[in-house]
Structure 1
Amino acid sequence: MLNLWRTANMDKHKTQPRKKKKVRRDLTLINQIMAFFVLTADLFLVLAMLGLTQFSSLSRTLFIRLNLIVLAAALILNFLAMLAVGRRSVSLLKTAMTAAVVIGLISAFGVYVEGRLNVNLGKMMDQGSSQETVGVSFVVLGDDEHAALQSAQDLNGKVFGILDDEQAQQGYQMPKNEIEKLKLKVTYREYSDYTRLLKGLLNKEIDVAALPENYKGMFETNEEIAPELAVLRDVHNFNRTLTIHTEQGSDKDVTKEPFTVLIIGVDDDRSDALMLATVNPGSMTVLLTSIPRDSYVPIACYTNQKSDKINNSRVRGRQCTIDTVKQLLDVDVDFYFESNFHGIIEIVDALGGVIIDNPKEFVGQDSSDERGHQTVWVPQGVNRLNGEQTLAFARERHSYNSGDFQRQSNQQQVIQAILTEAVRLKDVNKALKVLDAAGENVSTNLSMEQMIGLFNLTMKKMNRSYVQNQNVFNVIGARISGVNDRAPNRMSIVRLYQGSIEDNKKAIHRVFNLNSEIDAPKALSFSIDWVYEAPAISKDEYDEKFAPLKQ
């Protein structure tokens, strides 16, 4: 009997389930670590939600979904944390900490991406004024007659050449302020532009010329002055940080109203590439009107609006170029988009290159400041070019029979190629690299809302279209034609045909107003064998005679 009782008692103990051991050790430290990870993850989630707000106009539906995902992640994470603390479960504590680390890393990456976007967009956007450091050089002739002029104090009693515009900070205000600071007594002679000022120095009308510190880069393409640059010598150099003012962009709704953007490619403070983009978002039409950089036109900011090459207007400030184009084409310039040539290289390389159709193989100039070194090979035909090759393609003119007019066509092709690659971007890292390049080299007065609106419009049109991405916009190329000539100072210039200017004005008006009248043919015929060619906006030549230029 005793054995039977013992056996039954042992069986009873075997069948009873084991009770889970409660954690008796102190979990205060683990709880504190978990709380730190959870709070950090919550902080990054909140920052991510706040950062998403400014991009909400891209897609309201996507914005709501992302915020719901972020909110759900925060609720689940905090519920797990409270459950782990309440039950004192080590496994739940580990799960909560792992979730906190994963969610924290993902949201931190989102905050990082948003931060880079904001920094680069902030660098690009010009809200009316910006700080720029500019330099001025006091330049003399390097001949024996001026050999004694070795320092700023040696310039006392000399004749100084400056600009005649009291509002010109670099050409008038800075030199005068520096001369007062140096306590020099000098005589001033004023000129309407830097070309005439430098000519005055070479002709010994003045002893000293106050020029921008990069004056050699400015004049190295001037066929008359370039050979004389070697005889010039800097005596004194200084720089100042100035506030540069530019008109704020229009408040137009760029997703509904037609608008214009002046595209400026800057090299050594000159506008070496100049295009007016006329955009109609309703028809998705973009008209690119190229203006020859050597166009000899009245410059809006010069005294009495004296004529000069239009690319020299940028030396006096971006607003001077904008006002000159307004005056030339009699059209409001709603926005500008400016990039230096190094920006083109970096943006194209960040995109992984662009597809270019080059009509002729050539070896051209690279982006270095040392001119004359032909170091970039650009192959003929359709190829993917890197940044240096693309820049050389956009700048080359000597290898083509049509010279500067082919260069204008090349520049339009580069703009289209960059836009085509940009809208195809799906790699986040590549997109961030493109934005980094743009942030350092691009400036525009389009607002954040306007840029997001344009991007959103483009994406919507692409999603509704069965055509390739680059065909969503109907891009039309045009140019103002003219004839090569010489200015009174023997400077190489292009005198624009008035007929070409008028034809381009009409084309811009047609893009703005699709209901405008067009010249319809009196008779209509058709053949199935015809190959359609878009009509030219402007002819290459007009039956116009130019009056001789006066000094």
Structure 2
Amino acid sequence: MKKFKLSNSPLAGIVLALLFNGLTVLLLISVGRYVSVAPRIFVGIVGAIVVLALLGNLFFILGYGYRKKIMRKTFVIYSIVLSIVLSVGSFYLVRVNTSIDALIEKDNREILEYNFVTINDFTTLETLSQDKSIGFVAGDIDFNESIEKEIAQHSTSVDIIEFNSYQEMLDDFLVEETLDVAILPKQFMSYASNMDSESQEELETATIIHTFNIKVKGEKSSNTKVLEEPFSILFLGINENLADSIILATINPQTLHVTMTSIARDLYVPISCYRGNVPDKINHSRNVSRNCLIDTINELMEIEIDFFIETDFYALVKIVDVLGGLEIESPISFAGSLPKEEDPRVTEDIHIPEGKHLLNGKQVITFARERHHFPNGDFQRQLNQQYVIKELATKIIDESKRNVETLIQVIRAAEDNIVMNMSVNNDISPLMGLALSNVAASP
């Protein structure tokens, strides 16, 4: 019986040829998203991949078409090595693409969590009836219909009351006690800051009798051509579902001019998703939904926001640590605190030294959040947040220029803590290419 040799089997040759050609196509598709980052390098990479694939196919034709024994052996060895290289490259790029896609919310969709809350021990989900009342803050038609549909699943006879703002509803719920059940967002304790101690205590001890989710959908991604016309990006720093940091950046790609405007989180403004645009703290609008906050800022600033990038504290911590720290100059030394990601109820003491130092992620976010130790309070905090963003962006670009692996690590570190509506092909890739080209051109 003849010993089986892989190179002598036409079927094995066909399988190997299909394998490396398939991997070649997959790799080309995966790398194609980044053509705008460095077009010349991209052309070189694509050219090299195509040449390697064509060479493999040439070995296949010579070995099995013209029955050249040496070519068959060469093809088998070459195709196996090439398949391994292409597999590693494809796997690497697919993981990167998956991480980036996890950050992107193209349709600005959001799943909102709401609660049926009561301060009456005798009120339960089963006792909702005609002699009970339930209230919610009215929004757009779709939102109102979703709330009413959820209520109807548990009672068709309960008295439904619509309110114009959470302050109005909580007055009836906690002070007047004329409302049996209030429908409140997940982080409803954020509304307790302006209440008296008695109302705060009642809200803290209130009972959640039901939790449900609502899906909302905002405007689709902007069609702005980011390399040709000015565009805006809204940076949102979220803490317990409130907008702790709000920075609106406008960018002109032709002049490379960037303007950053901070919006005070406690600013009282008309809230777009409240019926009648009732005024409230602007950061409270994020507790309703991301779309509510974006629409409120659109109306406040008389601008149409193109993109948003939303993150929590812990994304910044992880990114800075991946970069090996960030050099930040603080005019004073102070001690702050940061809630732990695994248990936000527990805080960790953080020290910020005076002067310019290499700070770790926890120190950087503590510096960016601080206002009480600075004479200018919230105004200084806004400036510090802009300062941190600029320094962070500069370091990411500089490090990525030296090592693309750094950019990949940054993306993967923050994939669970960042959401944006920028696309890779149309927005991120062209902007990265513009940034890297200008870094290369700078002295």
Provide the TM-score with structure 1 as the length reference: 0.71
Task: Quote the Cα distance in structure 1 between the aligned partners of 2:209 and 2:317.
Answer: 33
- The letter of the residue matching 1:445 is N
Matches of 1:350 and 1:382, distance apart in 2: 20
Structure 1 counterpart of 2:111, which letter? Answer: T
Q: Which has the higher contact order (CA 8 A, sep 6+)?
A: 2
* Equivalent position of 1:366 in the other structure: 339
Unaligned runs of 5+ in 2: none
Tell me which residue corresponds to 1:354: 326
Amino acid at match of 2:127: D
**Displacement, 1:347?**
2.6
* 1:290 aligns to 2:262 (yes or no): yes
Partner of 1:522: none
Partner of 1:457: 434
Q: Distance in 1 between matches of 2:208 and 2:222?
A: 44
Alpha-carbon deviations, 1:284-321, whole Å to 9, x = none? 11111101000011122222211110111122322222
SS of the aligned residue for 2:329 comes to strand
Structure 2 counterpart of 1:124, one-letter code? L
The equivalent residue for 1:412 is 386
Structure 2: distance between partners of 1:77 and 1:58: 29
Separation in structure 1 between the aligned mates of residue 276 and residue 226 of structure 2, nearest angstrom: 35
Alignment pair present for 1:40 and 2:40:
no
- Aligned AA for 2:69? R
What residue number does 1:308 align with? Answer: 280
Per-residue Cα deviation, 1:403-423 (whole angstroms, up to 9, x for no partner): 212221221122112211210
**For the Cα contact (< 8 Å) 1:367–1:388, is it kept in 2?**
no
- Matched residue, 2:38: 59
The CA deviation at 1:84 is 5.4
Give 1:288's aligned amino acid.
Answer: M
User: Following the alignment from structure 2 to structure 1, what is the Cα–Cα distance between the partners of residues 142 and 373?
Assistant: 38
RMSD: 2.8
How far apart, in 1, do the equivalents of 2:354 and 2:339 lie?
A: 17
For 1:416, give the aligned amino acid: K
Matched with 2:168 is 196
| Distance change >3 Å, CA 134–CA 165, structure 1 → 2 | closer
The alpha carbon displacement at 1:94 in A equals 5.6
Report if aligned partners of 2:118, 2:206 keep a CA contact under 8 Å in 1.
Answer: yes
One of 95, 98, 101 as aligned partner of 1:122: 101
| Count of aligned pairs | 431
Question: Structure 2 residue aligned with 1:433, among 377, 392, 409?
Answer: 409
Mark the CA change 1:427 to 1:372 in structure 2 (over 3 Å): closer, same or farther: same
Letter in 2 for 1:262: L
Secondary structure of residue in 1 paired with 2:428: helix
Which amino acid counterpart does residue 118 of structure 2 have in structure 1?
A: V
1:135 aligns with 2:113: yes
Given the alignment, which residue of 102, 123, 148 partners 1:176? 148
Question: Mind listing any 5+ residue stretches in structure 1 that lack a counterpart?
Answer: 1-23, 467-551
CA contact (8 A) 1:314 1:321 kept: yes
Distance 1:108 1:366 in 2: 42
- In 1, Cα distance between the equivalents of 2:361 and 2:301? 32
**Cα offset, 1:184, TM superposition:** 5.0
CA distance in structure 1 between the partners assigned to 2:280 and 2:258 by the alignment: 29
Matched, 1:153 2:129: no
Match of 1:208 among 169, 181, 197: 181
Question: Counterparts in 2 of 1:223-238, with a 5 A limit?
Answer: 224=196, 227-228=200-201, 231-238=204-211
Distance in 1 separating the partners of 2:146 and 2:422: 30
Asked if the contact 1:116–1:432 (Cα under 8 Å) also holds between the matched residues in 2, the reply is: no
- Matched to 2:372, the amino acid is H
Q: Match of 2:334, as an amino acid? A: E
Q: Which of 389, 396, 400 is 2:374 aligned to?
A: 400
Rounded Cα–Cα distance in structure 2 between residues aligned with 1:230 and 1:301: 23
Listed one character per residue, the Cα deviations across residues 338-367 of structure 1 (whole Å, up to 9, x for unaligned) are: 223332233333333322222333132234
- Distance apart, 1:129 and its partner CA: 4.5
Q: Do the aligned residues in 1 keep the contact of 2:336 with 2:370 (CA within 8 Å)?
A: no
Aligned counterparts of 1:370 and 1:445: Cα–Cα separation in 2: 27
**Which position in structure 2 is the counterpart of 1:278?**
250
| SS at structure 2 position matched to 1:182 | coil
1:377 matched residue in structure 2: 351
Q: 2:154, 2:15 → 1: CA distance?
A: 61
**C-alpha contact 2:7 2:13 (8 A) present in aligned 1:** yes
Percent of matched pairs sharing the same residue: 29
Question: Which stretch shows the higher mean deviation, 415-424 or 231-240?
Answer: 231-240
Partner of 1:14: none
Q: Relative to 1, partners in 2 of residues 1:102 and 1:376: Cα closer, same or farther, differing over 3 Å?
A: farther
Given residue 137 of structure 1, which amino acid in structure 2 is its aligned partner?
N
Cα distance change, pair 371–393 in 1 and its aligned pair in 2 (3 A): farther
